[in-house]
Structure 1
Amino acid sequence: MTVDAQQPAYTLVFDPARSNAGYTVSEFQKALEKGSDEDKIATMKQILVTMLDGNPLPQLLMHIIRFVMPSRNNKLKKLLYLYWEIVPKLDDDGRLRHEMILVCNAIQHDLQHPNEYVRGNTLRFLTKLKETELLEQLVPSVMGCLEYRHAYVRKYAILAVLSIYQVSDHLLPDAKEIINSFLAAETDPICKRNAFIGLAELDREAALAYLEDNIAAIEGLDSLLQTAFVQFIRRDAAHIPALKAQYVDLLLELLDSTTYDEVVFDTALALTVLSVNPTVLAKAATKLINLAVRVFDNNVKLIVLDRIEDINTKNPGALEDLTLEILRVLNAEDMDVRSKALTLSMNLISSRNVDNVVKLLKKELQATVNNSDKERSMEYRQLLIKTIHSVAIRFVEVAANVVSLLLDFIGDLTSTAASGVISFVKEVIEKYPHLREGIFNNLIDALENIRSAKAYRGALWVLGEYAENQSDIQKSWKHIRFSVGELPIVQSEMKKTSQRSDDEEKEKESLNNKRTGPVILPDGTYGTETAFDFNSNAPTEDPDARPPIRRFVLNGDFYTASVLASTIIKLVLRFEKITDETTILNALKAEGLLILVSIIRVGQSSLVEKKIDEDSLERIMCAITMLMDESNPSEKSSEREILDLAYLDSTRSSFKAQVAISKRKNDQRSAKNLTKTAEPIEKSIPFRQFIQADSNIAKNDRIDEDLQAAIKGNSEKPNKNSVTSKLKKIVPLTGFSDPVYAEAYITTHQFDVVLDVLLVNQTKETLKNLHVQFATLGDLKVIDKPPSTNVVPHGFHRITTTVKVSSADTGVIFGSIIYDGGHGEDARYVILNDVHVDIMDYIKPAKTDDESFRTMWNAFEWENKISVKSHLSSLHAYLKELLQGTNMGLLTPSEALGEEDCRFLSCNLYAKSSFGEDALANLCIEKNPSTGQVVGHVRIRSKGQGLALSLGDRVALIAKQHGKVNLTHI
């Protein structure tokens, strides 16, 4: 929604109460008549909020003039001027209301008030006044304030002169000379800044002359005036390109000499607008980086980093030498700032500086190990690992060093971070075959330090897939044998338990036989020693000191054991293909059988925290069967090929496809970013020498464009809705047989729902005092109260009301139409139909990585599980309808969804609402072979209950829409 450029910008007022209770005009009038100053202050605040919500309250103007304007309370006077800003000053015919004459007299008295703060507040109000008839009476008083002794009054008086001239130049025809004279005689820096801004708006030549007179002493000027000079230079250079080179030199000198942070920021941004010289851009970016390092406010750091990112986006390669400088911002404690700095530096990294960047990141990673703040250091460590991962994938020359670096820290990492390291190792070892041997050896050395079961499962997969020669297979087997520990597990653990019990018995006997009684202490006194004072030094086994696989199994993690079974099968099958040493092969099979059988036994014993699950038991038993069938002479070659395909080829090929998809997406993203900054071949080349001084051919000022976009909204023309789509948004509120027919055209803005209601009087009588009352259910709030009106027979009347939306939950708007009955009868009512707010207008598809999805899935407590039963032709057809009906984005790659006629489909969906709420969904469906129906479940999770229920309703609606019976004949 755009804002009219001619419309004044009102002061924003915060409503601390936010109560839904409404006040009538009569209640406001009584409160103003009989209340004290404190009561009037509270009433005025409520009046301001009501008016800003869209109700002008014209009936209160005279009461405020009578009962509020005479007050001497400064707080009430300030609220009064806020009221003068927004009150309608013109009548229906566009003429000034007669009551405003009284207001004008009061303003004139305040302009001559002895208190300088009252004068200053009044002058500030005049800068927002756009009515010529009012300003005409106030010009002499404003001119008198230009010579007032207090600078607070003068700084607003000069701005009032500028505003009056901009409203109507006939009111102050000599405003340029007034401002120029004021600027020459003024000494206060704020007043001089305001005067120069006015001079730059009205007389460019005079402002340029003043700038030339103060160039020599610009370093000694106040920061406010320096900033005003920089803004003038930036705008003037856009219109006069011939002066651009001189302006750039002047800004460079100012950038070197100034000591004010705000001037450094504005000057650096102005240089990026005026010049594309890499040297100039690098100097401006260096100053911005120093500013980001020096300031303490994290919001300022983020803003400065955003501006540096804009420089790099518009001028690729110009800031490449500043990569390490940007990483200095990592000294901040805020994670958003660190993340922004790392992301920006990754866009600047190249083969020339990658070694230095990795060294710096390694130093930061080592610093996180000894950090006292465990939670924050773990988050920062995970961010560093993710960044190092992206560096190693892009630059092969540092991949090996990065892998060894991360594997050294894997024992100190959390489960999520360690899993990320193993995923990174998998990707590097697949993309760079010449680095596999070194990475493989480093991984085996680091395996015993892994504490995370998820990371260890990933490492076992790497061992099974990339142990391709006899040496690697034996190294992997040696680690597995060490990690399992003493076999059989049940007997060895029972032996240790019995040994510990024997030691405890011996300890008890020694304690019973130990003499207790008085002992002589070193100071000569007596003390008593008992058995409770005896400290045993007998060593006890630490559960975390066990080897990894043994620790996982005894803790009840049999999923890891099932992955170990698959790894053993892969190692045996690959060893069988590359060697003829039957003795070693048989030994491997026998030892593998012993390990797997031992794991099953311990899973069925009482030594573990929980028994082995059926899925893991089935997978381990399948592996045992394969190991025993290896010696079967009647095995067919086709069976052997299927076995090799399942264990040796399929998983590797799937991972290769996944890496290829990731690489293709990164290439597409890089190509898209390159296209944004690429210059088209047929673009015209402007020659500065051929451009006249008064030519308008100049580079657009992006800072002004951003400001206009913030004020007016998106400058692009919105697509016009078709008549059909508009008709779909019309909702009937009453029936055709009701005395009043009502229908609403619903328009959805970012956080508002606007109801444009058409009322039709279907009777032959005039409906008096007709008004519509709306109420809501859910996180909705009606902020407009349409005024009552009279509707003639068969007449039409339109009202507009706005409903504020605060979350993406399902909301309902309901209400009634009330009008007076005839000849003293009671009021009559017409109940309106309910209007359901469509939450799909507030839910947008979004993207996130798998790690963030799993983290949110575990953290969100609200889940809505919906059963799926649809007659659609295929699983992909249902997925398409689900994406369209819920506005969610598909996270699972299209390559992983299977063929169009597949029988099973599972994928993850993700969306964000306009209010920052996350919505997760998991779809698991299959094609019922007997009925041909699509059956399964959709699980939706969110942080709040409302969003999960609302999306669940949308999923259920899809089934209803496609479950309707189609009539073929009657």
Structure 2
Amino acid sequence: MSGQDPAYTLVFDPSPNQETNTASSLQKALEKGSDSQKIDAMKGILVTMLEGNPLPELLMHIIRFVMPSKNKKLKKLLYFYWEIVPKLDDDGKLRHEMILVCNAIQHDLQHPNEYIRGNTLRFLTKLRESELLEQMVPSVLQCLEYRHAYVRKYAILAILSIYKVSEHLLPDAKDIINNFLVVETDPICKRNAFLCIAELDRDMALQYLENNITDIDGLDPLLQSVFVEFIRKDATQIPSLKPQYIDLLLDLLTSTTSSEVIFETCLALTTLTANSAILVKAATKLIDLAVRVSDNNVKLIILDRVQDINENNPGALEELTLNILRVLNCEDVDVRSKALDICMNLVTSRNVEDVLQLLKKELQATVNHSNMDSSKKYKQLLIKAISSVASRFMEMAANAVSLLLDFISDLNSTAASGIIAFVKAVVEKYPELKHEILDTLIRALDDIKSAKAYRGALWILGEYAETAPDIQASWKHIRSSVGEVPILQSEMRKKNEGENEEKKESEQEQKPTGPTILPDGTYATENAYGLKERSKSERKVEEEVRPPMRRFILKGDFYTAAVLASTIVKLVLRFEKCSNDVSIINALKAEGLLILVSIVRVGQSSIVDRKIDQDSSERILNAVAILMDGSDTKEKSEETALLNLAFLDATKSSFERQLSLSKTKSLKRSVKDVAKNATPIESTISFRQLSNSSTTGADKDSIDQDLELAIRGSAAQAAPESFVSKLKKIVQLTGFSDPVYAEAYITTNQFNVILDVLLVNQTKETLKNLHVQFATLGDLKIIDIPTSANVVPHGFHRVTITVKVSSADTGVVFGNIIYDGAHGEDARYVIMNDVHIEIMDYIKPSATSDEQFRTMWNEFEWENKISVKSQLPSLHKYLEELTTGTNMGVLTPEEALGEEDCRFLSCNLYAKSSFGEEALANLCIERDPSTEEIVGYVRIRSKGQGLALSLGDRVALIAKKTTKCS
């Protein structure tokens, strides 16, 4: 749609069930109904006309029965009707009924009520028929001198619209607008007049700007904002004026207090210059504005602009890092997340300490609000920010570790696991801080409540406790964390003692006692229920007071116990390498055996919540066998080498490789960001004075480009499609032997599908009243009803149908072609083939973190499990086919997918639709050694049923396709 086409006003459909009224019923409502009935009828008429039916038979009824009404709501709907009603006949001439309409419009332009005049003038800005406008010119010029500003502000816009439709109607429009601008006092009218003169005559607008440049600070903000827009566009077209315009904008930015003017001025400065000093001033004003405004959406928009400045000019805003963090005072998590994302790219060695101090204060402030969901998300954001900052600066790493470990007891499992992952990376990256970090970690281990975080901490102790003092300190913590051993006997003893105490208390409660008299002479009362509740709460507190490892074991978490077993083996092997004291080594082995055997025994008893599983039991018993091994020295050396390789070298080298890969990915991202904004060294230099007028291209206005992209979409920027690519999108709707041949060219936009249908009359007779009826299945809605037409023999007819898509669900469009039969026969039908809407156009691969994936996997209730059976040559080939067929992105790192010839493959996939729907998938497949087939399952989860089923159909289609190929 071109920019000159009118944008019609949307009207609410009064019939919720899409009930359609006939033309006769609408005529009756307009002729004999009350004002309220006429209003409902007019709404129905407008909706029907916007769907493609012009209803020409109603025009005279509306002129006779609606136009004379004085009801303001009915008059407003009447002008909506004049916008969309066809004003020309089939020959392209003005319809005779429009003379009556023209007289009514002229009367409204001279109406004593200023709001009716203003509404009528507003309607004229949407009128494109010069024959109608010609008669309105004198009345519009009179409205320029009307006493009320509401009329004058629309009158000046009407003059601009009339001049753009036909210049001969108002040849002196520029002088009229310029004279009006000089004498006008109302700020809104002056703003509209300046917009008009800036569009028509740049010299006049520049002259007016020069006349008012001295007192621009005292002008109304509305006029200041249009001055800024004019300056931005003019400076883009004439670069030689940029320095003067930039100085003017800086003065305006310093003096103005209007939020709108500040925002527009800052955007104009960022598009006109790359000077870092000016960009800092503009960004500072934007940050102050983001702190001051209360609307969270406005804050996000402003922060997006600040982020654009930083991306286009890397390093220019480093000194504003702490200023941006002032936005964290907002309670909205999205705003805080955006501010932290911007600041993470601005942290340097000069401001890293101040940033960490501020983040520490924010983290301390969230401890008091630990039960709020937004506070939990904010904690995770702060922890992630602190971790990313500290991992880049060694001098801050140790302080950040101690800071985060101080809060680990107040955090949930996800946040605590994130802290432990950060500690892992810091210990590996900065070996010189190893001893200090291990001491801090050991002190904080007693406060960890998350089993996942505790397992990560045990891994750190087993891998990085390499000296005798560190090993002994780690062992001391393990011993205290397990508690009294054997665990089973000590817990049974405590249980028996507790039962005896409860028995004594119950006996004492059963003894009859006399009433207790209080000092004031009243009788005291006791509540046995309160005593029981108190004893339960005391028992719960006692369970929480237990050491962490003992608490996990008694709750049935034997996976953590298996990790403890491997940590004990690592510590013993490392102590053997750094010390020759046989007595201490034997003591460590004996104590380790006692702890592990005690865990197995208690896991097989009934006092734990869940008995020990077979896998954990085998891992613990393997550790016991390693500790008890006492073979001869020759075999001992070979076994020790294998044990060292398995326990001490393999896991650590795997973690080092994982860190190096993540570092490589981050470097690639940073290089990509720099390359995106860098100017190639071989790029040509354009001298405006040395090139001809046809090749001289002025700088493009990025703000106007963004606005055009938002209005017209990416299709306006894309190259025109080739003829061959269009042929691939044509769908045949009827057969070649049918009386009417039909085919459709399908165009997919963001939220709708357009069917351009070509109809061919293959008979030797004229087909009368030929029209197409479409219906849908799924979340689709037809919003266009094509009109009927007479098609000559072997003639062509084209209709366009727009289908609104509301979700990425399987949708079907079906219908038929109807035309009148010959000599009074019944109507004839041609059934068309179904058109299946391709949901892959609305699903795009995306990425998310592992924590968010697990959270969504637990929350989403719809699951579609599909069996996999394929003859493809490799598992990776099937994964490639799956991602191509479903448009899902692989979340699992490439190095974790295994080799090309591996037997097993498991990975997670994620995608988002254009409507905000999220789809998760888990692929688990293997190669059957007997049949060499790929077998397994694909599990798809989503919040709604439709997306899960649609993606499941795509997976089934992949299976059929690969079977045919094989």
Q: TM-score range by the shorter chain?
A: over 0.9
Specify the alignment match of 2:674 in structure 1. Answer: 674
Q: Structure 1 residues 418 and 322 mapped into 2: Cα distance closer, same or farther (>3 Å)?
A: same
> For 1:34-63, what per-residue CA distance to the aligned partner results, in whole angstroms no more than 9, with x for missing partners?
433222222322333333344444444344
What is the aligned counterpart of 1:129 among 113, 116, 127?
A: 127
Partner of 1:205: 203
Distance 1:724 1:78 in 2: 48
Counterpart AA for 2:960 = K
Pick closer, same or farther for the CA change 1:50–1:573 going to 2, 3 Å.
farther
| 2:730 is the counterpart of 1:730 | yes
Deviation at 1:715, TM superposition (A): 7.0
Quickly say closer, same or farther: Cα 1:64–1:620, change in 2 above 3 A: farther
Query: Secondary structure at 1:679's aligned position in 2?
Result: coil
The aligned runs of 1:366-405 (5 Å cut-off) are: 366-371=364-369, 374-405=372-403
Residue 416 of structure 1 deviates from its aligned partner by 0.8
Matches within 5 A, 1:283-322: 283-322=281-320
Confirm or deny that 1:61 pairs with 2:59: yes
TM-aligned CA distance change 1:796 to 1:251, over 3 Å: closer
Q: Deviations over 1:400-455 (max 9, x none)?
A: 11111101100000111111111111111112222222111111111110111111
> Which sits farther off after the overlay, 676-685 or 273-282?
676-685
Q: Give aligned-pair identity as a percent.
A: 71
The answer to which of 85-94 and 611-620 deviates more is 85-94
SS in 1 for 2:589: helix
Letter in structure 2 aligned against 1:422: I
Aligned equivalent of 1:336, options 334, 337, 342: 334
Write out per-residue CA displacement over residues 387-409 of structure 1, whole angstroms, 9 at most, x where no aligned residue: 11111122222111111110110
Deviates more, 1:140-149 or 1:607-616: 607-616
Q: 3-state SS of the aligned residue for 2:168? A: coil
CA contact (8 A) 1:4 1:712 kept: no
3-state SS of 1:746 partner: strand
Match of 2:242 among 236, 241, 244: 244
Kindly state the Cα deviation for residue 784 of structure 1 after the two structures are TM-superposed.
1.6
CA distance in 2, matches of 1:696, 1:719: 22
Residue matched to 1:705: 705
Distance 1:886 1:472, change over 3 A: same
State how far apart, in whole Å, the 2-side matches of 1:665 and 1:344 are: 19
Give the aligned partner of residue 36 of structure 2.
38
Counterpart among 485, 488, 505 of residue 507 in structure 1: 505
CA distance in 2, matches of 1:61, 1:386: 66
Aligned to 2:839: 839
**Larger displacement relative to structure 2 (646-655 or 691-700):** 691-700
Could you tell me which amino acid in structure 1 is paired with residue 2 of structure 2? D
With 726-735 and 452-461 compared, the bigger mean Cα shift is at 726-735
Q: 1:442 maps to what in 2?
A: 440
Greater Cα offset, 719-728 or 40-49: 719-728
Q: What is the number of residues matched between the two proteins?
A: 963
Residues in 1 aligned to 2:963 and 2:320: alpha-carbon distance in whole angstroms: 61
What is the Cα deviation at residue 297 of structure 1? 0.7
Which of 218, 232, 235 aligns to 2:233? It is: 235
Aligned-residue offset at 1:818: 3.1
Q: Is the contact between residue 517 and residue 530 of structure 1 (CA under 8 Å) also seen in structure 2? A: no
CA deviation after TM superposition for structure 1 residue 776, in Å:
1.3
Q: In structure 1, what residue type is equivalent to 2:312?
A: K
1:451-850 aligned at under 5 Å gives the runs 451-512=449-510, 516-525=513-522, 540=539, 542-629=542-629, 631=631, 635=635, 638-683=638-683, 699-714=699-714, 717-721=717-721, 725-850=725-850
SS of residue in 1 equivalent to 2:963? coil
Native 8 Å contact 1:51 1:57 kept in 2: yes
1:269 aligns to what? 267
What amino acid sits opposite 1:112 in the alignment?
Q
Q: Give distance in 2, aligned partners of 1:697 and 1:833.
A: 50
In 1, are the aligned partners of 2:756 and 2:799 still within 8 Å (CA)? yes
Work out whether residues 818 and 830 of structure 1, in 8 Å CA contact, stay in contact via their aligned partners in 2: yes
Superimposed CA distance per residue, residues 216-257 of structure 1 (whole angstroms, 9 cap, x where no aligned partner): 322222111121222222222223333322222222222122
Structure 2 residue matching 1:939: 3-state secondary structure: strand
Partners of 2:861 and 2:941 within 8 A in 1: yes
Which residue identity does 1:842 align to in structure 2?
Y
The equivalent of 1:187 in structure 2 is: 185
Q: Which residue of 2 aligns with 1:154?
A: 152
User: TM (normalized to structure 2)?
Assistant: 0.95
Paired position in structure 2 for 1:427: 425
Cα offsets for 1:493-542 (capped at 9, x unmatched): 110011111222232344455x6224443223556779889899986452
Contact 1:419 1:455 in 2 (8 A): yes
Alpha-carbon offset, residue 120 of structure 1: 0.3
Q: Distance in 1 between matches of 2:736 and 2:692?
A: 69
| Alignment partner, residue 102 of structure 1 | 100
Q: Once the 2 structures are TM-superposed, how far is the Cα of residue 8 of structure 1 from its aligned partner? A: 2.7
* Equivalence for 2:897: 897
Cα deviation 1:94-151 (Å, max 9, x = unaligned): 4333333332222111111111000001111112222222211110000000111111
SS in 1 for 2:908: strand
| Structure with more relative contact order (C-alpha pairs < 8 Å, separation 6 or more) | 1
Question: 481-490 or 264-273, which moves further after superposition?
Answer: 264-273
Read off the aligned partner of 1:72 and give its amino acid letter: K
Distance 1:439 1:18 in 2: 66
Whole-Å separation in 1 of the counterparts to 2:642 and 2:64: 96
**SS at structure 2 position matched to 1:926:** strand
Which stretch shifts more, 237-246 or 762-771?
Answer: 762-771
1:278 aligned partner: 276
State how far apart, in whole Å, the 1-side matches of 2:190 and 2:49 are. Answer: 36
The answer for the alignment partner of 2:851 in structure 1 is 851
**Contact persistence 2:471–2:575 (CA under 8 A):** yes
State the 1:22 CA deviation. Answer: 4.1
Cα 1:802–1:206, aligned 2, differ >3 Å: closer, same or farther? Answer: closer
The letter of the residue matching 2:374 is: R
Change (3 A) 1:263 1:720: closer
Does structure 1 residue 169 correspond to structure 2 residue 167? yes
**For the Cα contact (< 8 Å) 1:29–1:63, is it kept in 2?**
yes
Map 1:925-940; keep pairs closer than 5 Å: 925-940=925-940
| Mean Cα deviation higher: 602-611 or 366-375 | 366-375
Distance 1:244 1:722 in 2: 41
Which amino acid is the alignment partner of residue 274 of structure 2?
V
Deviation at 1:822, TM superposition (A): 4.1
Look up the SS of the partner of 1:200 in the other structure: helix
Q: Which amino acid aligns with 2:493?
A: K
Is 220-229 or 919-928 further displaced after alignment? 220-229
Offset at residue 944 of structure 1 (A): 0.7
Query: Offset at 1:492?
Result: 0.8
Q: In the TM superposition, what is the alpha-carbon distance from 1:765 to its structure 2 partner?
A: 4.6
* Separation of aligned partners in 1, 2:530 and 2:606: 34
SS in 2 for 1:864: strand
SS of residue paired to 2:544: helix
Task: Give the deviation of 1:738 after TM superposition.
Answer: 4.2
1:754 partner SS: strand
Once the two structures are TM-superposed, the CA of residue 17 in structure 1 deviates from its matched residue by 5.6
Any idea what the Cα deviations from partners look like across 1:715-738, whole Å, max 9, x if unmatched?
Answer: 765355555544443333334454
Letter paired with 2:383: I
Tell me, yes or no, if the aligned pair for 1:312 and 1:319 is still in contact at 8 Å: yes
Aligned partners of 2:765 and 2:701: how far apart in 1?
61
Report the alpha carbon displacement of residue 751 of structure 1 after superposing the two structures with TM: 1.3
Larger displacement relative to structure 2 (82-91 or 608-617):
82-91
- Normalized against structure 1, the TM-score is what? 0.94
The question of whether the paired residues in 1 share the 8 Å contact of 2:925 and 2:934 is answered with: yes
Alpha-carbon separation, structure 1, partners of 2:673 and 2:183? 53
